[in-house]
Amino acid sequence: MSEFEATSTAAAAQPEQAKFEAAPNRKKGAVPPGKLKEQNLATLDVTTLDYLTPEVISRQATLNIGTIGHVAHGKSTVVKAISGIQTIRFKDELVRNITIKLGYANAKIYKCDGPDNEVGQFRSKSSNWPDEFEEDGKIWRLQRHVSFVDCPGHDILMATMLNGAAVMDAALLLIAGNETCPQPQTSEHLAAIEIMRMENVIILQNKVDIVKPSDASENMNQIKNFVEGTVAGKAPIIPISAVLKYNVDVVCEYIVRTIPRPIRNFVATPRLIIIRSFDVNKPGDEVKSLKGGVAGGSILEGVLRVNDEIEVRPGITNRNAEGKVQCTPIYSRIVSLYAEHNELQYAVPGGLIGVGTMIDPTLTRADRLVGQVLGLRDRLPEVFIEIKISYYLLKRLLGVKTADGSKQAKVAKLKVGESLLLNIGSTTTGGVVSKVDEGNESKATAKITLTSPVCTKEREKIALSRRIDKHFRLIGWGEILKGKMVEMNKPAFAGGEEKA
């Protein structure tokens, strides 16, 4: 159905599973009948839901884990080793063998019966695997259902990485064992997750299969010195080979044992941030078979249900004759919910889902809705065109190699009139500084006029980037104190008439 419906490559374990996989007329990505827990909207009670509720984790990932680190350190490869899914899918990515857009893959992590200190107790399978199965003479039971957000490591794609960081509960920091540590984007990505106040980090020392033991040990010491005093200072460091799948079972074990229970609010008004959107129709499709646009993202709070009446903000933006920004929210209805191959009746916070709507697909194709917010009609936060923020600047510039190996340049103060790149949730937008009040170091504030409106709320975290040497570099972070609201037009109804 969508980018989120990636093809499973896991091998069949049980005879009946193998028979199902070999069926000649089997629909690609189909789930074996009776293998997943059923969801029932009629009996749904959101007050009883938990991120480990069997009916939830059977079908939907409830934990978002990002892969971060320098370019070509093995982020996409380790995701494939755990989930079986190749997250590099687009032509430019395949040609250049780098991640450009955010990649996604879901995986289930299982544990077999036995003593806790037994080796090889954990393994991973694809998202549509049964919750309990027999393999190698052991019974394996579902422990976690995770969604990986594969971030690009190239320096010019930092804004894309920050968009992914907005939905992460934890991070796998990939560091190649055959290069000195830290590399430029290793430092920048670590600073980014510190900005997001992410405390759950697992460090993976990759490519240990191509270095000598003495070199791997030296690299391990470099990693320890690098992360000392940071949010990853006490993070476990696991030597792995993503290509050979060496120690991948240990990574699964640490995900289960060390990443704490995420805080979720199931009873709040649902709010989903859109990090992908697309048109699933193919050229030449008949008019009667056309489908509405699909929005992909992660629910921050609340529960979305099939047939919910929804709104997308800011929606369609334009300027009137006086040059004033106006927004027209998009109203529609949820016609389907998917987590990769798994069809859902309701979706909860955590994990990446595809929301099938009745929105005109021309509005959703090619990621046109990225950065917008989806939720119940008339219950979303306000849309701002100007924001006042409290901010904190990094002391030195990160992610830039110096020719002589000297310290990075200091980050200059904000100036009135300068242009910045802002990451607010999954939104990337430009802004011009209109006022700066430095105050003291802990209470510096600034007013920023945005180039495009943003649906957000007070206390939302933001990342600040400045153009340096033709590329935007992370210079600091902040928090929204208040904002100037945009005039909202009458809603645009997509896929149905306005109700009386």
Position 104 scores a pLDDT of: 76
Task: Mark out the alpha helices in 11-130 (DSSP H runs).
Answer: 15-22, 54-57, 75-83, 91-96
How much of the chain exceeds pLDDT 90, in percent? 50
Query: What percentage of the chain reaches a pLDDT higher than 70?
Result: 81
- CA-to-CA distance for 333 and 495, rounded, in angstroms? 8
Instruction: Identify which has the larger pLDDT, 470 or 299.
Output: 299
Position 441 pLDDT exceeds 60:
no
Residue 432 pLDDT level (bands cut at 50, 70, 90): very high
- Residue 325, number of CB atoms within 10 A of its CB: 18
Write out the two tokens for 360: 């005109």
Per-residue pLDDT tens for 217-246?
A: 999 999 999 999 888 899 999 999 999 999
**338: helix, strand or coil:** strand
Structure tokens at 332: 């529609």
Q: What CA dihedral angle connects 450, 455, 459 and 461, to 10 degrees?
A: -70
Residue 468 has pLDDT above 60, yes or no: yes
**DSSP percent split of the chain into helix, strand, coil, nearest 5:** 20, 35, 45
Cα first-last separation, the chain: 33
Q: Provide mean pLDDT across the span 493-499.
A: 53
| Distance in angstroms (rounded) separating the CA atoms of residues 22 and 16 | 10
Looking up tokens 């422990």 gives 143
The confidence score (pLDDT) of residue 493 equals 63
Beta bridge partners of 479: 390, 461
Reply yes or no on whether the pLDDT at 34 is more than 50.
Answer: no
Average pLDDT value for residue range 472-490: 87
- Averaged pLDDT for residues 339-345: 91
What does pLDDT average to over the chain? 82
| Token pair in block for residue 449 | 């006029």
Distance CA 179, CA 209 (A): 13
Taking each continuous run of H as one helix and of E as one strand, the counts in the chain are 8, 25
Whether the per-residue pLDDT at 202 is higher than 90: the answer is yes
Average pLDDT of the residues in 8-26: 43
pLDDT digits (tens, 9 = 90+) for 105-141: 899 999 998 887 788 899 999 998 999 999 989 999 9
Backbone torsions φ then ψ of 272, nearest 5 degrees: -115, 130
Question: Is 60 exceeded by the pLDDT of residue 98?
Answer: no
Burial class from Cβ neighbours inside 10 Å (0-12, 13-18, 19+) for residue 203 reads buried
Tell whether the torsion through CA atoms of 27, 31, 33 and 39 is positive or negative: negative
Give the whole-angstrom CA distance, residue 62 versus residue 170: 12
Residue 14 has pLDDT above 70, yes or no: no
Neighbours of 209 (CB within 10 A): 15
Q: Of 363, 264, 356, whose CA–CA distance to 46 is shortest? A: 264
Confidence of residue 440 (pLDDT cuts 50, 70, 90): low
Helix/strand/coil for 406: coil
Q: What is the pLDDT of residue 27?
A: 42
pLDDT number for residue 28: 47
> What is the per-residue pLDDT for 183?
86
Q: In whole angstroms, what is the distance from residue 272 CA to residue 262 CA?
A: 17
For residue 190, give the 3-state DSSP assignment: helix
Whose tokens are 């529960």? That residue is 303
**Does the pLDDT value for residue 99 go beyond 70?**
no
Q: Are 105 and 5 in contact (CB under 8 A)?
A: no
The DSSP call for residue 216 is: H
Whole-angstrom distance, CA of residue 431 vs CA of residue 386: 9
What burial class does residue 469 get, using C-beta atoms within 10 Å of its C-beta: 0-12 exposed, 13-18 middle, 19+ buried?
exposed
**Residue 94 pLDDT > 50, yes or no?**
no
Closest CA to 174 of 107, 239, 81: 239
Q: What is the C-alpha separation between 72 and 368, in angstroms, rounded?
A: 28
Specify the higher pLDDT residue, 492 or 301.
301
Question: ∠ at Cα 456 (452, 459), nearest 5°?
Answer: 125
What does the pLDDT read at residue 162? 56
User: For 326-338, what is the mean pLDDT?
Assistant: 95
pLDDT at 165: 55
415 contacts 438 by C-beta, under 8 angstroms? no
What phi and psi values does residue 281 have, to the nearest 5 degrees? -75, 150
Mean pLDDT of 203-229: 94
Decide which of 420 and 393 is more confident: 420
pLDDT at 191: 77
Is the predicted pLDDT of residue 290 greater than 80, yes or no? yes
For residue 198, the SS3 value is coil
145 vs 192, more confident: 145
More confident residue, 6 or 404: 404
Both tokens assigned to 141: 């039971």
pLDDT at residue number 60: 94
- Residue 273 CB-density burial (10 A; 0-12 exposed, 13-18 middle, 19+ buried): buried
pLDDT at 26: 44
Instruction: Look at residue 305 in the predicted model and tell me its pLDDT.
Output: 97
Q: Residue 391: beta bridge partners?
A: 478
pLDDT at residue 316 is higher than 90: yes
Element (H, E) at 424: strand 419-424
pLDDT at res. 319: 86
Pairing of strands 170-176, 201-206: parallel
Is the Cα torsion angle 427, 428, 431, 433 positive or negative in sign?
positive
